[in-house]
Amino acid sequence: MPQETNIPNKSILTPFNVVAGIIILAGLVITVLRFTKGLGAVTNLDDNNPWGIWIGFDLLCGVALAAGGYVTSAACYIFGLKRYHSAVRPAILTAFLGYALVVLALHYDVGRPWRLPYPIFLSPGTTSLLYEVGLCVFLYLAVLFIEYSPAALEWLGLKKVRNLIVRMTLVLTIFGVVLSTLHQSSLGALFMIAPSKLHPLWYSNYLPVYFFISSIFAGLSMVIFEGTLAHRFLHHKMDATHLRESEGVALGFSKAASFVMMGYLSVKLIGISVDNNWHLLFTGWGLWFLLELIGFVALPAFLYSLAVRERNLRWARWAAALSVLGVVLNRLNISVVAFNWYLPSAQRYVPSWMEIGTSIFIVTLGVVIYRFITTRMPIFYEHPDFRHDI
């Protein structure tokens, strides 16, 4: 008798579920605090440091790491690289969840979240780069939802709507790339308004270019990184096509990432030369800058190229993890570390544990929803009714 009741209990109380449950519970507590006591009670933000990790990590990193969606769909549908087709759905799903969570995180950070539609529908401030970001993220979230929807519609068995949406794939993909180019770059351009606050090594007229290029290899690396995790935990959900193509995806994306990162390095060097910032490289800030550029861009780029030459999947995965960390480091450097660099250390911002907790909570929410969807809907496999039907 007790054995019978234990079986369903056991299937719910897995270590993953317990940990995720605790994090989500803690997140809900912080949520209540945020919306009853205000930002002051939960964050370490102040008048000199109005943006913390909820912008630096949740928004900037969230958007950059969700770039896999537009990169993969562009590779497959625009550049005609059909052999990456099985990577499109997981990438689109990650992107959709990523953007949805970015918008959720914004609800914590801004003062009156229900007014977030105001700039778009009521009083557009078109001189602001934040307006461009807001409009593009809003539109792109809608595009990603439509791009993701065939998986849900197949699951629900709604064939007609599904076929209608699949026919719009190309238009949606192009629209997605346009919107991504705009807001990925604008997130960097946001900081161009404050040359007096951002350290000159990170401030550049090329900030939008840096952000756009780094979003490409962030997206490529995230697809590889996420594929690694998916293979470990969701292997049983993958069909033969996905398994057969996955190595090709990882190595092909490694090759692309390596090239793009080399391009990024060149543009960075041009940026340093244009502003003649060479002398700053030999300061403490310079070392930190070089660590970001050499340790987390040049090194993984080299590792990627080795991985491609030797057809070594392990190296590709290490390179992907390093690149993802590098993009996170870059975004945090620009928004938090090198921002207000001139202020005395007592006036600098360090995130509170509740800010970090909220960010972890939101990432966990993403992982849980990702798992819910991938274990139910045709993401890693083709739905039997729609096989070979794009």
Partner 1 sequence: MGVTRRKFLGWVGAAAVGTTSMMVPKARAASNKHFEGYPGSFGVLHDTTRCIGCRKCEEACNRVNDLPSPARPFDDLTVLENPRRTSAAAFTVVNRFESDAGEPVVFAKNQCNHCLEPACASACFVRALRKDKTGAVVYDASLCVGCRYCMVACPFNIPAYEYDEPLTPRIRKCHLCQFRIEKGLLPGCVETCPTEALAFGERDRLLKIARQRIDKFPGRYVDHVYGEREMGGTSWLYLSPRPFNQIAMREDLGVQPASRFTSGPLSAVPIVVGLWPVLLTGIYAISKRKDKIAQQERIEAVATTVADANDEMKTKMAELKDKMTREREAMINLEIKKALKEAAEKEDA
Residue ranges that bind partner 1, judged by CB under 8 A: 34-41, 43, 45-48, 50-51, 74, 77-80, 109-113, 115-116, 118-132, 134-135, 139, 170, 173-174, 177-178, 181-182, 185-186, 189-197, 205, 207-208
Kindly report the number of other CB atoms within 10 A of residue 161's CB atom: 12
3-state helix, strand, coil in the chain (%, to 5): 80, 0, 20
> Closest approach of Cβ 76 to partner 1, in Å?
11
> Closest approach of Cβ 48 to partner 1, in Å?
6
| CB proximity list for 195: less than 8 A, separation 6 or greater | 203
> Closest approach of Cβ 57 to partner 1, in Å?
16
Q: Between 101 and 190, whose beta carbon lies closer to partner 1?
A: 190
Q: Between 131 and 341, whose beta carbon lies closer to partner 1?
A: 131
> Closest approach of Cβ 19 to partner 1, in Å?
29
Local structure of residue 280 (DSSP, 8 states):
G
Q: Between 88 and 182, whose beta carbon lies closer to partner 1?
A: 182
> Closest approach of Cβ 252 to partner 1, in Å?
15
> Closest approach of Cβ 165 to partner 1, in Å?
18
Enter the tokens of residue 234: 């969701």
Local structure of residue 380 (DSSP, 8 states):
S
Q: Between 22 and 170, whose beta carbon lies closer to partner 1?
A: 170
Q: Between 132 and 154, whose beta carbon lies closer to partner 1?
A: 132
Burial 325-355, CB ≥16 within 10 A → b, else e: bbbbbbbbbbbbbbbbeeeeeeeebebbebb
Q: Between 128 and 163, whose beta carbon lies closer to partner 1?
A: 128
> Closest approach of Cβ 339 to partner 1, in Å?
8
> Closest approach of Cβ 196 to partner 1, in Å?
5
> Closest approach of Cβ 46 to partner 1, in Å?
7
Q: Between 212 and 370, whose beta carbon lies closer to partner 1?
A: 212
| Beta strand residue intervals within the chain, DSSP E | none
* Measured distance CA(16)–CA(31) in Å, rounded: 22
* Measured distance CA(161)–CA(118) in Å, rounded: 31
Kindly report the number of other CB atoms within 10 A of residue 388's CB atom: 6
> Closest approach of Cβ 374 to partner 1, in Å?
29
Enter the tokens of residue 215: 């979003």
Packing angle, helices 85-109 and 129-156, rounded to 10: 130
**Cα 90 vs. chain centroid, distance in angstroms?**
13
**Cα 141 vs. chain centroid, distance in angstroms?**
13
Which of 258, 323, 347, 328 shows the shortest CA–CA distance to 58?
Answer: 328
* Measured distance CA(28)–CA(204) in Å, rounded: 39
Q: Between 13 and 274, whose beta carbon lies closer to partner 1?
A: 274
Helices (H), 157-239: 159-166, 169-189, 207-233
Q: How many residues does the chain have?
A: 390
Q: Between 7 and 346, whose beta carbon lies closer to partner 1?
A: 346
Enter the tokens of residue 174: 């192009």
Q: Between 139 and 306, whose beta carbon lies closer to partner 1?
A: 139
Q: Which residues pair with 349 in a beta bridge?
A: none
